[in-house]
Structure 1
Amino acid sequence: MVKKRQILVIGHNTNGCTPEHEKIAYDVGVEIAKSGSVLISGGLGGVMTASAHGAKDAGGLTVGIIPQDDASEANEFCDVVIPTGMGLTRDFLNALSADGVIIVGGGSGTLSETCAAYMNKKPMVAIRNLNGPVMQYIDGYLDHRKNVKIIGVDTAQEAVKKILELITA
């Protein structure tokens, strides 16, 4: 049996998530499902809900790793819910569970997950022009270590294609 690829989608929670973010995240979820990969997210609102919704609509498998200790806190599109009870520390579980990461906008929580993925040399792709603190690092590195470049793309389709290339490289 071959292990399925696991792609983490991160970005704005409900606060700050625009219809543009939701549309792109939904499309990312669809593309992840079409690739036969598992979508992982933080399991809550905004980009997390939209990406899981897209994956579910396309027949994919979704996993939500939530900061709460009650599985009922996850969005309705999570097939598997992992209630950590760890608060924001769960960002590290999200990053370590992924083979690659797709970034759709986001705030400080997204930056935290990005840093965790960066320190663990996880391939990352970010959608350009969606605001947020990660945007300044697109096509560059978070710091002098140059652990992994955050590759910028313009569409959901490009994001999934590129992350799959990076995972298999």
Structure 2
Amino acid sequence: MAKMRQILIIGNNDNGCTPELEKTAYDAGKHVAESNSVLITGGLGGVMKAASHGAKDGGGLTIGIIPQDDASLANEFCDIVIPSGMGLSRDFLNALSADGVIVVGGGSGTLSEICAAYMYKKPIATIKNSGGMATKYADQYLDHRENVKIIGFDSPKDAVDYILEQTKS
């Protein structure tokens, strides 16, 4: 049996997550599920919860890799919870577990995950109009190494389609 594609959706936690960001993340999660890919998130609130909710409504499998050591802290839409106990270091685990990454808004924690994915040359798509790190780093490289260009999209579906195309086997 072939390994299922794993797509990480990252962005704002509860703090700063607007209804518009939740809708964008929900739609992205649903498209991930409909592509028969596994959704990975940081397992908590905001974008992570909305994406997981969308993936569940789309009939998909969801994994939440949380920074705490208590699985009960994950959002209710996570099928599989990995309580890393690693604190913010779990950002690298999230990025390395993914075949590709989609960014919806986001602050410094999101940037940490973008940097980890970038260093390991994972394809990264952003939703350009979602603000935060997604808008700031759309359509550019993070540094002179030009490991992978971060590509911005106007819709969650286009971002998911890009990751699917970049991660075909």
Same fold flag (TM > 0.5): yes
Q: Which amino acid aligns with 1:149?
A: K
Q: Give the aligned partner of residue 56 of structure 1.
A: 56
* Aligned-pair CA distance for 1:130: 1.6
Q: Which amino acid aligns with 1:20?
A: E
SS of the residue corresponding to residue 130 of structure 2 reads coil
8 Å CA contact 2:127, 2:134 repeated in 1: no
RMSD, aligned α-carbons: 0.9
TM-score (normalised: structure 2): 0.98
Q: Give the aligned partner of residue 107 of structure 1.
A: 107
SS of the residue corresponding to residue 144 of structure 1 reads coil
SS of the residue corresponding to residue 48 of structure 2 reads helix
* Aligned-pair CA distance for 1:134: 4.3
Q: Give the aligned partner of residue 136 of structure 1.
A: 136
Q: Distance in 2 between matches of 1:118 and 1:65?
A: 19
Q: Spell out, residue by residue over 1:116-153, the C-alpha distance to the aligned partner (whole angstroms, 9 max, x if none).
A: 00000000000012211342221110000100000010
1:13-162 equivalences under 5 Å are 13-162=13-162
SS of the residue corresponding to residue 167 of structure 2 reads helix
Q: Which amino acid aligns with 2:45?
A: G
Q: Distance in 1 between matches of 2:134 and 2:103?
A: 8
8 Å CA contact 2:10, 2:41 repeated in 1: yes
SS of the residue corresponding to residue 52 of structure 1 reads helix
Q: Distance in 2 between matches of 1:13 and 1:160?
A: 20
Q: Distance in 1 between matches of 2:24 and 2:134?
A: 17
Q: Distance in 2 between matches of 1:78 and 1:7?
A: 14
Q: Distance in 1 between matches of 2:20 and 2:150?
A: 21
Unaligned runs of 5+ residues in structure 1 are none
Unaligned runs of 5+ residues in structure 2 are none
Q: Distance in 2 between matches of 1:2 and 1:146?
A: 31
Structure 1 segments of 4 or more deviating over 6 A?
none
Q: Which amino acid aligns with 1:159?
A: A
Q: Spell out, residue by residue over 1:88-117, the C-alpha distance to the aligned partner (whole angstroms, 9 max, x if none).
A: 000000000000000000000000000000
TM-score (normalised: structure 1): 0.98
